[in-house]
Structure 1
Amino acid sequence: MSTRTPLPTVNERDTENHSSVDVFVEPPVPPTKSASRHSLPRCRNSFTSTEEHPHIGNYRLLKTIGKGNFAKVKLARHVLTGREVAVKIIDKTQLNPTSLQKLFREVRIMKILNHPNIVKLFEVIETEKTLYLVMEYASGGEVFDYLVAHGRMKEKEARAKFRQIVSAVQYCHQRRIVHRDLKAENLLLDADMNIKIADFGFSNEFTVGSKLDTFCGSPPYAAPELFQGKKYDGPEVDVWSLGVILYTLVSGSLPFDGQNLKELRERVLRGKYRIPFYMSTDCENLLKKLLVLNPVKRGSLEVFPAFALLHRHSLFGQACSRTESPNDLERILPCVV
C-alpha cells in the first residue's frame, strides 16, 4: 500500500465497539492509496488512427486518465454525439487464462447492472490483442482524491454520498452480486458529485447456501473473516467495507491501519477504532451496526433487519421496509440532505 498525502488528524473521544473489545487508542490513520489491481480481457477489430488522436469504433481516444500493469484508461469522445466516455484498454497478450476468466466475469456482471450510482458499461470492443471497455466517465474523480484535497466531509455531505453507495450495493446484493472491493478509490464522482461505484474486477455472483473463499480487495477495507481465511457468503464482506467507507467519509481517516499487513490484521481482528469528537451519536451507532466482528450478526443489506434500522438514523432519514425495491429506495434515501 503506497502512502498518499496525509489528511489532517482530529481530536477524538474513545468509544467501545459492539464487538466487545476495548477501544483502540491510537489516532486515526489517513487513508492510503491501495496498490492498483490489474485484471482484464478479449474481443475484434475496429481500430483506426489519425496523427492527433487514434479512434476505436466511434470513439476518439484523448488523454490517459488511469494506468495499471496490464491496462490503461483513456478519456474518449464519441465522434457523432460528442459524449465523453472512459475507455479501459486491456492488453490481452499479458493476461493468463485465469485473469482472462476473471475479466470476462467482470464484463458479464457489468453488463447486467443498471443503477444510477454504478458506472455503466456502454460497449465492449475487441481486437486481436486488445479489449476495449467503453464506460461512463465520472469527471469528478475518486472519492479518495477528493478527501485528500478537501479533507473529511461534513456529515450532511457524507450521508448524501453514503445513501447512494448503500442503494447501489443493495441493488447488487439483490441480484446476487457481491463487489468485494469497495473502497474510496473505487468510488467515483460525476460532474454533479453523485457517486459512481467502479471496478468490478473482484466481483462475483453468490448463491445462498454456498460459500466464497477468495481474499479480495484492499486490506484496510477487508472484513475480519477474510484475514482469518474463513469462507463467507458474500454480502457481509461488503457490509464491513461500507462501515469503513462511512468512517472514512466522516473522519477523513481509516478506522484500521498499520505499518504492515500483520499490524493491520491484528487491529481489524480486535475491531477497535477511535470515534472523532465531532461525529454524531447516530453516525457512531450506525458504525457499530456495520463494523461487527461476527459476520452472522453483521448480516447482509438484504436480510439485515437492519436496513430499516439504518434509515431510522438521522444519517438516512425516514425508515423503509427491507422489501423496498431499488427504485423505492432511491425515492426514500434522498429525502434527507
Structure 2
Amino acid sequence: MCDNMKGQQFGQLMTTLLNTVCLQTVKNDMSICVIKVMETNEYIYLIMEHTGGGQLMGLILQNDGMQDEEAHRLFRQIVHAMQYFHQKGIVHLDLKPENMGVDTGSNITFIDFDLSTRFTAGKKLKRFFGTVLHVAPEIIQEKEYKGPQADIWSLGLLLYAMLTGKCSFEASNNREVKKLIKQGTYDILPRLRGTPELPL
C-alpha cells in the first residue's frame, strides 16, 4: 500500500496511525473509544464511539463562556486526563475546545489526537506545528521544547476560553497572533477580575 502513495498521502497515513496508537495508549474513560479500524487501497477509516453531547466549543459559545462552577468541573476533568496522558508518555500538543467532546453525562471526552506524540522525560521535542491560537511561545519561536509544559500552556488558554468565550490572543492574522503570544499580551476581561480561586 505504501509503495503507491505520494508524500502527502503517506503523511496522512502516518498521522492516522499515530492518532490510533495514542488513543489506544491513553485509553480510559475520558478518551474516545476506537471501535474498529478499516483499510482500503486509498484510506484508513477509524470507527469511533459517538460522544452524544457535542463539542466543548458548543457549550462555550452558548452563553459567551461557561458558568464558573461548570467550567471548573470540566476543567478539573481535563487536567486530570492530561496528567494521566503525560504519565503514559503522551503529549497532546493541540488542546482546544474543538478537540474535546462532551458525553451524555456532561463529562469531557478527548476526541482528537492527530498532533499527539510520545515523549521521553528530560528530552525536548522539535515538532513545530499546531493551531496558532493555542500553541506555546516556544513552538511559535521554533525552539526545542518540553512537551508537557507546552500542554500546560495550552490548558491556560483553554480555561480562558471556557470562562470568557474568547481566545486569549486575538488579531487579524496569524502573524499578529504570534506576536501577541511571544509578548504574552492579552486582555484580562472584567469577568476574570476578582474571580475566586477554585481548587483543582
TM-score, normalisation: structure 2: 0.90
Note if contact 2:101-2:109 (Cα within 8 Å) is conserved in structure 1.
yes
Deviation at 1:228, TM superposition (A): 0.7
Q: Which moved more, 1:165-174 or 1:131-140?
A: 131-140
Give the SS at the match of 1:96. Answer: helix
**CA–CA separation in structure 2 for the residues paired with 1:136 and 1:115:** 13
How far apart, CA to CA, are the structure 2 residues paired with 1:112 and 1:122? 14
1:1-337 correspondence to structure 2 within 5 Å = 95-279=8-192, 281=194, 313-316=197-200
Residue identity opposite 1:182 in structure 2: L
Residue 93 of structure 1 and its aligned partner are, at CA, apart by 8.4
Decide which structure has greater strand share.
1
What is the CA-CA distance between 1:280 and the residue it aligns to?
5.8
Amino acid at match of 2:192: M
2:73 maps to a residue whose letter is: A
Query: Match of 2:173, as an amino acid?
Result: N
What is the CA–CA distance in structure 2 between the aligned matches of 1:171 and 1:231, rounded to whole Å? 23
Q: Aligned partner of 2:133: which letter?
A: P
Report how many aligned residue pairs link the two structures.
Answer: 198
Q: Distance in 2 between matches of 1:113 and 1:120?
A: 10
1:241 maps to a residue whose letter is: S
Structure 1 gap segments, 5+ residues each: 1-40, 43-91, 284-312, 317-337
Give the drift of 1:97: 2.1
Between the aligned residues of both structures, percent identity stands at 33
> Larger Cα Rg: Structure 1 or Structure 2?
1
Cα distance between partner residues in 2 of 1:257 and 1:213: 26
The letter of the residue matching 1:145 is: G
4+ residue runs of structure 1 moved beyond 6 angstroms? none
Instruction: Read off the aligned partner of 1:200 and give its amino acid letter.
Output: F
8 Å contact from structure 2 (residues 51, 101) kept in 1: yes
Q: What are structure 2's unaligned runs of at least 5 residues?
A: none
Let me know the Cα RMSD of the aligned residues. Answer: 2.2
Contact 2:157 2:168 in 1 (8 A): yes
Contact 2:25 2:88 (8 Å CA) reproduced: no
SS of corresponding position for 2:52:
coil
